[in-house]
Structure formats: structure tokens, C-alpha cells
Structure 1
């Protein structure tokens, strides 16, 4: 799917953390829209997508001059108290357009100059490794949360064909770990996976977060049901994985390789 780009200058960037992300003072989205266009993305059912009347994944708004806006807002926010940032809540900060536009990189540069108390970088893209130099400067104030919903790339292709292959994400986790960047693997949402999944992740991270549609889409699974996800599971013969109980299967497999304090469930795993 070809992605149309629109360049806009935002008035604001930092939004108050609410709902699932109320543990953060702010959320930060370098872009509006997301070219990965994952079938299960809860943002498809949010106003930013519904009012656009264009297919999710077909458009991206680029927030020009974002670094100048953030610098002003961040300095102001820091005078009022603790600042914790979730980047990003409704887009991927390292989607393909970031290669050229480098909006996310410019925002990390600002954070290096005016460090927040904590920032979580949520992505599914190996492009995050390009910014290891900036992430290192943030030290323990940052965590990169890499989405790895499954270890089976044939499953990834069924649910998110435009997203980066699983192998690339695993290599990125290794690079981040070797560079000393705090990381976690976010199995979110839980997709069908193999019994070897936990062993694969154990070699790369010391922290995993498990989340599903029913806990993590912000509406107890209602948004996901409206997306018709159940029928996709039926098409591939994996109906048993579309269940509020499915995450427990993954959690049990993780327990064979991870300590209890290394396994986090849903919202707790994304907290600052």
C-alpha cells in the first residue's frame, strides 16, 4: 500500500497521559498515522483514524519543526514537576518515513538536552538502532520496548504484512542490549507463537511484557472486536488464540526461562 504524506507544523506535541497510559505525565507522537497498518491496531477505531476516511496505513502526517515545539513544551513541563513520556501511543516513531524525515531523532536530541525523568520508546522497527548514540546519552532514563508479538514470521505476515520481519526485530534487540540500552520485548498483542518463543527471547532480553486485545486496547477488547479480528483467527485455524485466556499460555512458557520479576502483564509492563 502506497503511503501519502502530509507535512504539518503542530501547535503542541506533549499530551497528558490518560487511560491505559495514566502512569505517564505525557504521551508523544512524532507522526500521525502509521504506514505499518497492522490489522489489529486499536488506533483504527479511534477518532484520529475514523474521521480521516482513508484506510489506516495509507497516510502519515509528518510533524515538521517538532523539535522546536518539544523543546519549549519540555522545558515548561519540567518546571512543574516530574516528566515521564510514552513515545508513541498511536503511531510507530520508527516507521519508514522516519528514515528520511528524522522527526523522532530530532525529538531524542531535544530530550538529550533537556532530559525527562523517563521515556519509553515503543516501536516494532529495527530503525531504532540508528539512534543508539542518543539513547545511550539518556542512560537509565530510557527503555526501548520492541514489539515482538510472535516468533513465527508466517503469523506476522497474516496480521501485519507491512511491519518489519521478526528476525530484524530480534537482531535489533541484540544490538540494543550490546549497546547497554535498557530494553524489553513487548509480546503485544499476543499472537500465535511456538513453544520455543521464550527461549528465543531469553537470549536477548531480561524483561518481557505480555498484553492482549482484551487488556490492552483501551476498551476491554471492544475496539478489536469491531475490527473483526475473530474472523482472521478463524481463517488461519487459530481460533483458540483469540481468547482472554491465550496470554496465560504465553506467560507459562515464559516462566520456564524468565524469573517472575522479569515477566510483566499488560499495563504494568509499560509503566515508567
Structure 2
């Protein structure tokens, strides 16, 4: 299903970061809404979704004046001190419409010309590799965090049928790494996976972050519980994975293939 697209003129693009992202000065969301419509997305329980017409995933607002606005806001923000940006906190900057809109790319062009002190790019889309030329210009000031919540395609299809396949995300990580762009694989949230998951990631990246609903949804798992994602686990016969123990299992697996200092847990893996 194609989402309903609305073009809007944003009044503000850089928003003050707080809570889970308190290590950043600002968050930056090129779009409102997200066509990937992941079943477990905590944004479903946030005001941006709850007070918008239509189901989450069925609408996307395009901030068509974003680049010009960011250029002005960056100048002002830099006058006040260091600027660290998390992109994005409530949407995927590389969701499908970015292929044609090129909105996120226009923002990277602004930041390549006026670099923030640090930019964290959170996505689950291989489309990020299109912008490697701009990411390279940011050098150590950027990190691309690719969500790879499982290595099982059957699990991915059950939880996030509209999201890109896992093999494509792993290929994107390889390409980014080959170009010298700082990356991490982000297992967030931990979904049912194979015993070979950590080994597969270790052959691609040297840094991983792991998170689950109970640490990462902003309400100790209560938001996720309200969404009703548990029913997907039950339907797959994998109910034991919907627990705090699931994180511990995969964390232990990661420590067999990564140095402890390269395995980050929840908030510490997202900080500048």
C-alpha cells in the first residue's frame, strides 16, 4: 500500500534532543511518518502518530523546505556551541520516497558544507549507500547505524514486511565499510535470530549496538506492550523471545565474536 503523501512547510527542523538522546543537542527528522511501518515501532505510541489521521505507515508528510531551513538553523545553533545531531528519531530518513524526493540527500549537502560536530544517521535502508559521497566528506563526524534486528528473513517478514531485506542491509554495511565511513550494526530491537548471527556481523562490522523493548522504547516496554507486538511472537511459536532474557542470549553471542568494548548496550550505542 502506498502511503498518503502530504507536502508541508516546516517551521522548525532542528529540535532539542532530550531523554534517551540527551547526549545530542538536536534531533532531525526529514519526514513525519514512515512507510516502513515496523510492527514494533515505539513511534506508534507517540503524539506524532496518535494525533495524525490514518494508520502508522499509511501517511508521510514531506518537509519540502527542509534544506533551506536547516541551513539557517545550523548557523544559529553553531553560534551557541557544539552541534550534535541524531537523524532520525521518529522516521527513517531513507524510507522509499527518498528515492524520488532526495530530501535527506539535500540535508546532507547542507551539512557537508556546514558540518555539525557530529551526525548520527539511523536507518534500515540500503539507500543510504547512494549518499556515500556526502558521508565521506563528513569523515569522523558521522556514523551510520544500520538496523539489523535479526538475520532470519522469515522473522523480518513477519515483523517488518515493508522494510528492506536483511541481506541488502548487510551488503550496504559492507559498501559503507569499504569506503571508510564509520558504521555500526544495530540490533534494535532484538528479534529471534540464528546462532550464527553474531558471527555473520563480525565479518562485516567492528562495532555493534544491541537494544530491546524493555530498555529502548522509552517506557520500559510499556509502549510496546500497548502496540500488541507480542501476538506476532505467539503466531511464530517464538513467545520465549519476548522477554528480557532474549537480549542476554544475543549479547552473550556477540561477546564471543566482538571485543567487549565494541559491543554497546542500548543508549550508549547511540551516543556521539
Q: Give 5+ residue unaligned stretches, structure 1.
A: none
3-state DSSP class of the match of 1:145? Answer: strand
Question: For 1:42-90, what per-residue CA distance to the aligned partner results, in whole angstroms no more than 9, with x for missing partners?
Answer: 0000011011131110110011021100000011100100100000000
The equivalent of 1:138 in structure 2 is 138
Cα distance in 2 for residues equivalent to 1:10 and 1:249: 43
Could you list the structure 1 runs, at least 4 aligned residues long, displaced by more than 6 angstroms after superposition.
Answer: none
In terms of mean alpha carbon deviation, does 89-98 or 227-236 score higher?
227-236
> Quick one: distance in 1 between partners of 2:232 and 2:35?
20
SS of the residue aligned with 1:95?
Answer: coil
Partner of 2:13: 13
Give the Cα separation in 1 of the matches to 2:188 and 2:140: 23
Tell me how far 1:230 sits from its aligned partner.
Answer: 1.5
CA distance in 2: counterparts of 1:117 and 1:167, whole angstroms = 32
Distance across 1 between alignment mates of 2:205 and 2:155: 22
Distance 1:86 1:132 in 2: 18
1:235 shift after superposition: 1.0
Matched, 1:200 2:200: yes
**TM-score normalized with structure 2 length:** 0.99
Q: Deviations over 1:93-146 (max 9, x none)?
A: 000000011110000000011110000000000000000000000000000000
Q: Secondary structure at the match of 1:85?
A: strand
Alignment of 1:1-272 (within 5 A): 1-272=1-272
- Cα distance, 1:208 vs structure 2: 0.3
Deviation by residue 1:232-256 (Cα, 9 ceiling, x = unmatched) = 1111111111001211100100111
- TM value normalised by structure 1: 0.99
Task: Report the 3-state secondary structure (helix = DSSP H, G, I; strand = E; otherwise coil) of the residue aligned with 1:245.
Answer: helix
Structure 1 Cα separation of the partners of residues 143 and 80 of structure 2? 23
* Counterpart Cα distance in 2 of 1:244 and 1:20: 19
Provide the alpha-carbon RMSD of the alignment: 0.6
Query: d(CA) in 2 for partners of 1:68 and 1:230?
Result: 42
The Cα shift of 1:2 comes to 1.8
Structure 1 CA distance for aligned equivalents of residues 51 and 15 of structure 2:
20
